[in-house]
Structure 1
Amino acid sequence: MGILNVTPDSFSDGGSYIAQGDALRQAERMLLDGADIIDIGGESTRPGAPPVALDDELARVIPLIEQLRGANLPLSIDTYKPEVMRAALAAGADMINDIWAFRMPGAIDAVRDSACALCAMHMLGEPRTMQVGEPAYRDVVADVRAFLVERTEALLQAGVARQRLVVDPGFGFGKTVEHNYTLLAHLPETAPGGTAPLPVLAGISRKSMLGAVTGRTVASERVAASIAAAVCAAERGASIIRVHDVAQTVDALKIWSATRAAARRS
């Protein structure tokens, strides 16, 4: 999943693709680089980010979805606003990626009767405050899984088909560095579903948890660390890996996949 932020203030690439022409060129580049999904976001969800007005978010993302819907790959919209969900689906979006896990009033109603995929993410608190103080859990893996079980059950009970659901443990969303690496190490355990777990989306690309280990304070300098994290997530069963650096990640995952295939043959 290639990240396409059309925002002025995202933590890594804010302002780079705010102009529609720049965004379209970046989408084309990610498609050529091997992205399977493009995830379009019109509101930054970095720690401390302020909310964006509804009309501003719509103006950023809907024309882009309309332009890209003929690109022959799934389009995801990163939003928690029911109004944006409805407009994005009408414009041709194939997936709703919601950091609030469809907890906003009207969110489930906005997506229930569509056929789109739905990604429910765990977040402790909200973007403006989630990293203030020291996020605390009794058991971060068990607590995140319990939340994702509750949210996916709410969607199922509303009539959403199980095959539409994806879950995301929410790396960096109200977690310490230790919490994040514990979740990565135990990624399969965060997925609801027992012996048939739901697909997991891992979004680690360029995040501060990588800088905390490598010492890279600038997000754009965390490409190598992001690729390593992507391989770790794939090794632990992630079905979707959300990244800024599509070409490099695709290459790394091809090597990982070829090695696994050789191991199975031997």
Structure 2
Amino acid sequence: MAGLPEWDRCAVMGVVNVTPDSFSDGGQWFDTELAVKHGLDLVAAGADLVDVGGESTRPGAPRVDEAEELRRVVPVVRELAAAGLVVSVDTMRAAVAERAVEAGARLVNDVSGGGADPAMVPMVAAAGVPFVVMHWRGQSIDMNNRAVYADVVGEVVAELRASLERAVAGGVDPERIVIDPGLGFAKDAEHDLALVARLSALRELGRPLLVAASRKRFLGRVLAGDGGSPPRARERDAATAAVSAIAAREGAWAVRVHEVRASADAVRVARAIEAADTAGAV
């Protein structure tokens, strides 16, 4: 991926939520000092890069205003970048992305794929930084109502292609674009499972793939079984690592996770198995 270090396996992106209301760990890292320490701890546990966000995108979440998002995100990005970490900023706002890049962020991760803020694509193009384009159908407040598909894999691929083409038409270097199928965003559990089962279909878009399954609802539904209650988000890390291993074997560029150690181990095992398979075929 142009503009970022090269890893010889699927990378692990650790999540730093500087929010009071994220579905998984809201409030734990809301303080700047705690958020910075958490980012450093994630790298110590095996993360290759960290993704700093100041706005929850859980289903039903209201938006925060720009000034508050800037207050949450920029100091954390600045300190982590100064410590030598590879930092991504998770935002739908061009102004936040721009300030974060100025503070040292090297990747812009926009869950709207440039759809929420018309200034985002021109800003990313001008900055020349890598850009994550996620599949998105609308804001968190009502995205569950948009989870209607006749063919979820085909439609997600087609809609991602359109977002990718818009970004390139807006001046973003295609060699700096990562795609993300948007697990959990305007999707039910069966949609998410179908996308994980068909990650290979996303290869036709010709861009590196980020898989962000960490602790999401579809894993809770799987673990609950028929009629059971889904385990709490923090009890889904083993299930997350299972998806990380699958994503790595399917050639994903990176997985985005809250708990790093298990997924860091999973992607390294997947890489070792791939190497053994290649050696055996010679």
The amino acid that maps onto 1:4 is: V
Residues 135 and 182, structure 2, Cα contact 8 Å, conserved in 1: yes
Distance 1:129 1:191 in 2: 29
Residues 183 and 190, structure 1, Cα contact 8 Å, conserved in 2: no
**Where do residues 53-202 of structure 1 align in structure 2 (5 Å cutoff)?**
53-103=65-115, 104-132=117-145, 135-193=147-205, 197-202=206-211
Structure 2 residue matching 1:131: 3-state secondary structure:
helix
Compute the RMSD of aligned alpha carbons.
Answer: 1.3
The question of 1:210 aligning with 2:223 is answered no
Unaligned runs of 5+ in 1: none
The amino acid that maps onto 2:216 is: K
Give the TM-score of the pair, scaled to structure 1.
0.95
Residues 4 and 26, structure 1, Cα contact 8 Å, conserved in 2: yes
Between 1:255-264 and 1:25-34, the stretch displaced more is 255-264
Residues 148 and 192, structure 1, Cα contact 8 Å, conserved in 2: no
Q: Please list the CA deviations of residues 52-97 of structure 1 after superposition, one character each: whole Å capped at 9, or x if unmatched.
A: 0111100000011111112333211110011111111111111111
The question of 1:238 aligning with 2:252 is answered yes
Distance 2:267 2:114 in 1: 31
Distance 1:259 1:156 in 2: 35
Match of 2:60 in 1: 48
Higher relative contact order, structure no. (Cα contacts within 8 Å, ≥ 6 residues apart): 2
Between 1:43-52 and 1:70-79, the stretch displaced more is 70-79
Pairing partner for 1:34 from 26, 29, 46: 46
Distance 2:110 2:91 in 1: 5
Q: C-alpha displacement at 1:192, in angstroms?
A: 4.8
Distance 1:233 1:60 in 2: 31
Distance 1:50 1:191 in 2: 33
The amino acid that maps onto 1:113 is: A
Residues 120 and 151, structure 1, Cα contact 8 Å, conserved in 2: yes
Q: Please list the CA deviations of residues 225-247 of structure 1 after superposition, one character each: whole Å capped at 9, or x if unmatched.
A: 11111111112221110001111
The amino acid that maps onto 2:269 is: I
Unaligned runs of 5+ in 2: 1-12, 225-229
Between 1:85-94 and 1:8-17, the stretch displaced more is 85-94
Pairing partner for 2:235 from 221, 238, 242: 221
How many residues matched?
262
Distance 1:260 1:178, change over 3 A: same
The amino acid that maps onto 2:61 is: A
Distance 1:191 1:148, change over 3 A: farther
Give the TM-score of the pair, scaled to structure 2.
0.89
The question of 1:18 aligning with 2:30 is answered yes
Query: Identical aligned pairs, as a percentage?
Result: 39
Distance 2:43 2:182 in 1: 25
Residues 135 and 175, structure 1, Cα contact 8 Å, conserved in 2: yes
Structure 2 residue matching 1:179: 3-state secondary structure:
helix
Q: C-alpha displacement at 1:107, in angstroms?
A: 1.3
Residues 149 and 192, structure 1, Cα contact 8 Å, conserved in 2: no
